[in-house]
C-alpha cells in the first residue's frame, strides 16, 4: 500500500504550510487567516515548488464551506439582531448597495458585463465574520453597544449572502452566465421553482427539524457518551447540508446554515458549538488554503490599478459609507468609527460568492483574483486600522466620559 496518496498529501501539505505561515502571521500581530491564504498560494499551481491536488482541495473546501456555514447558523442570534435592528438592518442594506455600486462602476471600467459587476460589488460588500469577531473579542467589544451593532450588521450581510447563494444559479442566465434549464429558458419558471424548493426546505426544517434535532441531541446527551454527541452534531450538520442539495436542490451552504440555526434552539447548542469547533476549524483552514490556491500572484503586476481600486473600495469606500450611515442615525463618532473599521475587509463569504460566480461563468477569473488580492491586503491592514481606532477611543473617552477637574484657582 503506498504511503503517499493525493488526498493525504493535499491535507498534510495544506495543514503544515498553514500552521507554519499562520504562526508567522500571529508573531507579526496579523490574523492567522493571512497565513492560511498564503499557504494556499504557496501550494497552488501558480507558484513553484509543492503543488497540492486542486480537485481534491476543492472537495475539501466544500466540507469547509458546510462547516463554516454551520458555525454561522449556530451562532446566529435573532435576539441580538432585533436589539439593534433599527440601525443594523437599514444600515447594512444601504452599505451593501453602496459597495455593490462601487464594484459595478469598477467592473464597467474594466469592460465586464453588468451581471459580473453586480456580483463583484456584492462580494466586496460583505465583511469577514472570522476577522471581525476576533478583532472585537481581543478588545472586549462584543458585548458593547458598538460590538452589538457591528455583529448585527454582519448578520444582515451574512443573510443577504445566503440569499444570493440561493438565487445566483437560478439567475445565472440573466446575469450573463450559464442559463439554468437550457438556452432560451424563461427566468420566471426557474425562479419560481427555486423559490418553491427553498420554501419546502425551510418548511421542513422549521416544522420537523426544529423538533427532531433538539430531541435527538437530548437523547444522545443522556447516554453520557461525549464522542457520540460530537458525532451526532457533525452528522446533523453534514447530513442536512447533503440532504438539502440532494432532495431540494438548494446549496450546501443554505442547508448547513439552517442546520446550525435549528441546533441553536437546543439547550445544548453551546456544547454542540464547542464539540464541533476543532473539526470546523480544521476544515475552515483547508477552505482558506484552497482559496489561496486559486490566486495568481502575477495579478499584482499584471493589473496593479485594478488591485488598488478593489482595495480602496473595501477599505475606503465601505468605511466612509458605513461611517456616514451610522452618523445619520445620530450615533457617536466613536460608534461610527468602530463600525467602519470593523467592516473594512472582506473574507469567507466573498470567496464563496466569487467561486460560485466563476463556476456559473458570470464573473471572469480576473474578478476572483482581484477579490483575493483585495481580501489579503485589507486583512493585512485591518489590525493597523484597529490600532488607530484604539488610540482614538482613548482620546474620545477622555473627552466624553471623564468629568473635567475644576480649577482650584477659580
Reported as a single tens digit per residue, the pLDDT across 307-362 is 999 999 999 999 999 999 999 999 999 999 999 999 999 888 888 898 889 988 89
Q: How far out from the chain centre does Cα 212 lie? A: 28
Instruction: Note the pTM of the prediction, 2 decimals.
Output: 0.81
Is residue 119 within 8 A of residue 175, CB to CB? The reply is yes
Spell out the long-range contacts of 43-47 with Cβ–Cβ below 8 A and sequence spacing 24 or more. Answer: 43/13, 43/14, 43/17, 43/289, 43/293, 44/292, 44/293, 44/294, 44/295, 45/293, 46/295, 46/296, 46/297, 46/298, 47/297
Distance CA 371, CA 99 (A): 13
Q: Which helix (H) or strand (E) element contains residue 391?
A: helix 365-400
Distance CA 173, CA 358 (A): 13
Q: Which pLDDT does position 410 carry in this prediction?
A: 41
Distance CA 67, CA 274 (A): 13
Show the DSSP H helices in 172-265 as ranges. 187-204, 210-223, 226-248, 252-263
Per residue of the chain (410 residues), give pLDDT as tens.
555 578 888 888 889 999 999 999 989 888 888 899 899 989 988 888 888 887 888 788 888 888 888 887 887 777 777 788 899 899 999 999 999 999 999 999 999 999 999 999 999 999 887 788 778 877 888 778 888 888 889 888 888 888 888 888 888 888 887 765 544 456 777 778 888 888 898 899 888 888 888 888 888 988 888 899 999 999 998 999 898 888 888 778 788 888 888 888 788 888 888 888 888 888 888 888 888 888 888 888 999 999 999 999 999 999 999 999 999 999 999 999 999 999 999 888 888 898 889 988 899 989 999 998 998 888 888 888 988 998 998 888 888 765 544 544 44
Q: Which pLDDT does position 4 carry in this prediction?
A: 58
Distance CA 74, CA 244 (A): 17
Q: Which pLDDT does position 322 carry in this prediction?
A: 94
Sign for the pseudo-dihedral over CA of 101, 354, 321, 377: negative
Distance CA 167, CA 281 (A): 28
Q: Which pLDDT does position 155 carry in this prediction?
A: 81
**What is the dotted CATH code of the domain comprising 69-280+309-396?**
1.20.1530
CA 341 → CA 37, 42, 377, distances in Å?
22, 29, 14
Distance CA 25, CA 330 (A): 38
Residues 103/107/108/114 CA torsion (nearest 10 deg): -80
Per residue in 208-250, pLDDT (tens digit) is 888 888 888 888 988 888 899 999 999 998 999 898 888 888 7
Quote the crossing angle between the two packed helices 226-248 and 54-74, to the nearest 10°: 110
Count the alpha carbons within 13 Å of 130 in the hemisphere toward its beta carbon: 22
Amino acid at each position: 500500500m503506498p504511503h503517499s496518496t493525493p488526498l493525504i498529501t493535499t491535507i498534510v501539505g495544506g495543514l503544515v504550510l498553514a500552521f507554519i505561515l499562520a504562526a508567522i502571521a500571529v508573531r507579526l500581530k496579523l490574523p492567522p487567516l493571512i497565513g492560511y491564504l498564503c499557504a494556499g498560494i504557496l501550494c497552488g499551481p501558480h507558484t513553484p515548488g509543492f503543488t497540492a491536488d486542486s480537485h481534491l482541495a476543492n472537495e475539501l473546501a466544500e466540507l469547509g464551506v458546510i462547516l463554516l456555514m454551520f458555525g454561522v447558523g449556530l451562532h446566529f442570534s435573532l435576539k441580538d439582531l432585533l436589539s439593534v435592528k433599527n440601525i443594523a438592518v437599514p444600515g447594512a442594506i444601504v452599505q451593501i448597495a453602496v459597495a455593490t455600486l462601487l464594484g459595478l462602476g469598477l467592473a464597467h471600467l474594466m469592460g465586464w458585463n453588468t451581471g459580473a459587476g453586480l456580483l463583484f460589488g456584492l462580494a466586496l460588500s460583505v465583511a469577514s465574520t472570522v476577522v471581525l469577531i476576533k478583532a472585537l473579542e481581543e478588545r472586549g467589544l462584543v458585548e458593547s453597544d458598538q460590538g452589538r451593532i457591528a455583529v448585527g450588521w454582519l448578520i444582515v450581510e451574512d443573510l443577504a449572502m445566503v440569499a444570493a447563494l440561493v438565487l445566483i444559479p437560478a439567475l445565472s442566465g440573466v446575469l450573463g452566465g450559464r442559463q439554468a434549464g437550457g438556452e432560451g429558458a424563461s427566468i420566471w419558471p426557474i425562479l419560481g421553482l427555486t423559490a418553491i424548493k427553498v420554501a419546502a426546505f425551510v418548511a421542513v426544517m422549521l416544522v420537523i427539524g426544529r423538533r427532531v434535532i433538539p430531541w435527538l441531541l437530548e437523547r444522545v446527551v443522556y447516554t453520557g457518551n461525549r464522542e457520540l454527541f460530537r458525532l451526532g452534531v457533525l452528522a446533523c450538520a453534514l447530513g442536512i447540508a447533503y440532504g438539502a442539495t440532494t432532495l431540494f436542490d438548494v446549496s450546501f451552504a443554505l442547508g448547513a446554515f439552517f442546520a446550525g440555526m435549528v441546533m441553536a434552539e437546543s439547550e445544548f447548542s453551546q456544547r454542540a458549538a464547542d464539540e464541533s469547533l476543532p473539526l470546523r476549524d480544521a476544515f475552515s483552514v483547508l477552505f482558506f488554503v484552497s482559496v489561496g490556491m486559486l490566486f495568481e500572484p502575477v495579478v499584482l503586476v499584471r493589473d496593479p490599478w485594478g488591485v488598488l481600486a478593489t482595495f480602496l473600495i473595501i477599505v475606503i469606500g465601505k468605511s466612509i459609507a458605513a461611517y456616514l450611515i451610522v452618523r445619520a442615525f445620530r450615533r457617536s463618532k466613536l460608534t461610527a468609527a468602530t463600525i467602519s473599521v470593523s467592516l473594512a475587509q472582506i473574507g469567507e463569504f466573498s470567496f464563496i460568492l466569487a467561486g460560485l460566480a466563476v463556476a456559473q461563468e458570470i464573473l471572469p477569473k480576473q474578478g476572483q483574483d482581484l477579490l483575493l488580492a483585495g481580501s489579503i491586503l485589507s486583512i493585512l491592514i485591518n489590525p493597523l486600522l484597529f490600532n488607530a481606532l484604539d488610540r482614538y477611543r482613548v482620546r474620545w473617552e477622555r473627552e466624553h466620559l471623564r468629568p473635567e477637574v475644576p480649577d482650584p484657582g477659580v
